[in-house]
Structure 1
Amino acid sequence: MYMLSCAAGYKYPGAEAPYVLDIIPLAAGLAVTSSDQSLCLFDPTRLGLGPAKIIRTNHGHLTSAKAYNASESIISTAGENGSISVWDFRLDPSKAEALRIQGNGATSLLSLACSSQISTLAVGTELDNHQASVLLWDIRSPSAPKLQYNEVHSDDVTELNFHPGDPNLLLSGSTDGLVNVCDTRITDEDEVIIQAFNHGSVHRAGFLNSTEVFAISHDEKFSLYDMAEGVEQGSATLDVGDLRQVLGCQYVASISPKLNGAGAVIGAGSQDQEMFQLIHLSKGPTGAWNLDKETAVGLPGAHGSELVRSFCVFDEQHVVFTAGEDGYIKAWRPT
């Protein structure tokens, strides 16, 4: 295993430091969310100096954050009071909220996806009054959702992601066990699902490339699925099972697909060993997917005995950033 060392870090202040939740790369720096409901911008080259900008969100409890347009440093957040905000980090924090939408009443929003290509925000709700919904807004006319699906899932909608090449396709995952791919150009809810995979209660799911989808359940079962024609629909093309057993870890923080569609990086941790690993998922010469445990990258010490909540990798700069429940954001580099 190739080891990195902690080169810099910043701990959020307070007797009980908040959990640091998401790290989202933007042109202006690293956008970071935390359990104290703040949205901060860090200069990745001067991490130890703390946030360059601090925004206080107003979601009751911030549950999800995604880049809306990373090159323009615009980000969206959503939360438990049913609200969605769009923030522009090019502006002063007091003026940064460019848009605020009240979602599906006061129903808590659990998941979020953004597509600047079609000026659309999508949110997924928790189950409320026997209904879990996926709602889409055109931010150019945000007075009401342009689409609302109330029957694609029967439990909390925990994951949303737009297709990397066709933003009309939206992937959703739920604790009902389903990973669905919907064509949002179809208005009839009975016809909108073009692919469905029964995976188990979905923790993370997304597109690896134009046709292949990954999913990991809340009990860490990991599989790949393929939407391509000629592939048996609904069946996993790779069924790894419990990643904790396969990787010798205690939890999986998240899975980060590579932008070129060539694979993904799996972030897995062990609190007992105070270790976090990055394991590459890649295709071999035959087209079969492999977990390349031999080239795993280790972050010894990680975030102590606390969970790592998110990570991002910058290959060209040879740096990895992690966020944890110990209140730290850290930068890791080769020794």
Structure 2
Amino acid sequence: MRTAKLLATGDLDLPPDSYIYDLRPAGNAALAALSSDNSIRTFDRSSLKLLPDGLIQNAHDSVTSLENWDDEGNVLATSGRDGVVRFWDRRTRKAVMQFVNPKPHPLSAITTHAATSLLITGAELQKDPPGDAPIHAWDTRSPAAPRLSLLESHTDTITELALHPEQPSALLSASTDGLVSIFDLRQADEDDALRAVLNHRSAVHHAGWLGSAASNSSSSRDVWVFGTDETLGFYRVDDDEDVSQSNATAQSEIKPVSIGDVREKLGCEYVVNVYRSLSSGTHVVAAGNTSSQHLDLLPLQPPASADDSPLAYSCVTTDPRAMRLPGAHGDEIVRDVWVDESSGTLFSCGEDGKVRAWDGGEGGGAGGAKEERKAYRKEKKREKEKGKERFKPY
């Protein structure tokens, strides 16, 4: 495992006891951070110093999510427990668009797609489940009301919303009700829009799409799911599958692969998220440990042999492409990681109210250095030629 070098630490002039929840790019030389003091703070990537005009205060009564709208990172979208989404022009520090939830539900998740004028919002259920946790799809050109409302597919807080990277009409939603739902946003009715329901059997923390439709039409339908109990599972969604929520056990012929609790296997105490490299397409599991104070970035590996299930993804700490951030954020939890793929610099934020920059070398931990990638491929080829038994996932 490679080791990243700490380059800098910054506090962004935050008040004491603040958390930093999310990091997003804001132009070529800056990042935006969403903080528990309900602010958006834009800072220089090199110095980790707050920019002179980089503070937007009181974005919401209680902030929950931060996303980019435009590719340049000039417009940022935020949501809050006030049930509102605001689009902020970071150059003027003004809200340029606003979307209000039809009913007074606090919002827990959002995702955006500027090319198709899409904004998707997911609600937080503040009472004990079951209850209403609606998802609304907005056309940003018509902010008066959602164009599609998905009201009956989840009965607890929405924790993740993800559009397919190559097919933005396909929406993945995840919830603490234990379900991951797949929708076709081209449909006008919820029953017609719901394409599949995956049951992880524990509250879902994060979920997302695997693979690339451009390179592998099968893996483009694969989904990873992490539970709040740190259980990992992989699922496949059939293009032609039409599953109702009342029949959540119906699945594709390819059976899901459940890895189970990864904490002992990966030597971690919690999983931050799974990140996808835009340049290589590699997915990386960010796994943290507050006791030993480190964060590991562990690439997901595709099935090791043709005899394995197509969903037999795995990640191991012995992968030469893996990277450790020693010290991480001390005994506080890391909340987000962002990689500048052009420079290989990694940025992390956490519940200590700090942002940190790390020298990850070539590839920034998302794909590994050239020499290590070459060594990894060589080792795999040697194992195959010798007929050795492949390692099992984890």
TM exceeds 0.5?
yes
SS in 2 for 1:190: helix
Structure 1 stretch 307-316 or stretch 321-330: which is displaced more?
Answer: 307-316
**Structure-2 change in CA distance of 1:157 and 1:188 (3 Å):** same
Aligned mates of 2:135, 2:255 — CA distance in 1: 25
**Runs (5+) with no aligned partner, structure 1:** none
Query: Which has a greater percent of strand?
Result: 1
Correspondence for 1:319 = 345
Residues 1:280 and 2:299 are matched in the alignment: yes
**Structure-2 change in CA distance of 1:72 and 1:50 (3 Å):** closer
Tell me the TM-score normalised to structure 2 length.
0.79
**Structure-2 change in CA distance of 1:22 and 1:15 (3 Å):** closer
Correspondence for 1:248 = 267
Tell me the TM-score normalised to structure 1 length.
0.92
**Structure-2 change in CA distance of 1:236 and 1:263 (3 Å):** farther
Correspondence for 1:215 = 225
**Structure-2 change in CA distance of 1:236 and 1:321 (3 Å):** farther
Correspondence for 2:385 = none
**Structure-2 change in CA distance of 1:236 and 1:65 (3 Å):** farther
Aligned mates of 2:354, 2:303 — CA distance in 1: 36
Q: Are the equivalent residues in 2 in contact too, given 1:198–1:234 (CA < 8 A)?
A: no
Residues 1:304 and 2:330 are matched in the alignment: yes
Q: Deviations over 1:47-99 (max 9, x none)?
A: 1x33451112432100111112233532211010101001223x222xx3111
Shift of 1:13: 3.5
| Letter paired with 2:114 | S
Residues 1:226 and 2:236 are matched in the alignment: yes
Shift of 1:16: 2.0
Aligned mates of 2:255, 2:39 — CA distance in 1: 39
Q: Are the equivalent residues in 2 in contact too, given 1:26–1:70 (CA < 8 A)?
A: no
Aligned mates of 2:334, 2:69 — CA distance in 1: 24
Q: Radius of gyration: which is bigger? A: 2
Shift of 1:234: 8.0
**Structure-2 change in CA distance of 1:14 and 1:64 (3 Å):** closer
**Runs (5+) with no aligned partner, structure 2:** 212-219, 242-250, 362-394
Correspondence for 2:11 = 11
| Letter paired with 1:132 | A
Q: 2:283 aligns with which of 264, 287, 292?
A: 264
**Structure-2 change in CA distance of 1:171 and 1:115 (3 Å):** same
Structure 1 stretch 295-304 or stretch 260-269: which is displaced more?
Answer: 260-269
Correspondence for 1:119 = 117
Residues 181-196 of structure 1 correspond to what in structure 2 (within 5 A)? 181-196=182-197
Shift of 1:313: 2.0
SS in 1 for 2:76: strand
Structure 1 stretch 22-31 or stretch 296-305: which is displaced more?
Answer: 22-31
Shift of 1:11: 1.3
Shift of 1:225: 1.3
Q: 1:290 aligns with which of 314, 333, 336?
A: 314
| Letter paired with 1:194 | R
**Structure-2 change in CA distance of 1:334 and 1:191 (3 Å):** closer
Correspondence for 2:246 = none
Q: Are the equivalent residues in 1 in contact too, given 2:113–2:168 (CA < 8 A)?
A: yes
Q: Deviations over 1:97-131 (max 9, x none)?
A: 11112113321100101011210111011236831
**Structure-2 change in CA distance of 1:228 and 1:263 (3 Å):** farther
Aligned mates of 1:219, 1:139 — CA distance in 2: 36
Aligned mates of 1:290, 1:14 — CA distance in 2: 38
Correspondence for 1:77 = 78
**Structure-2 change in CA distance of 1:260 and 1:18 (3 Å):** same
Shift of 1:283: 2.1
| Letter paired with 2:21 | L
Aligned mates of 2:157, 2:47 — CA distance in 1: 39
| Letter paired with 1:207 | W
SS in 2 for 1:289: coil
Aligned mates of 1:247, 1:285 — CA distance in 2: 18
Query: Which has a greater percent of helix?
Result: 2
SS in 2 for 1:117: helix
**Structure-2 change in CA distance of 1:120 and 1:11 (3 Å):** same
Q: Are the equivalent residues in 2 in contact too, given 1:196–1:234 (CA < 8 A)?
A: no
| Letter paired with 2:60 | H
Two-structure CA RMSD over aligned residues (Å): 2.2
Shift of 1:46: 2.3
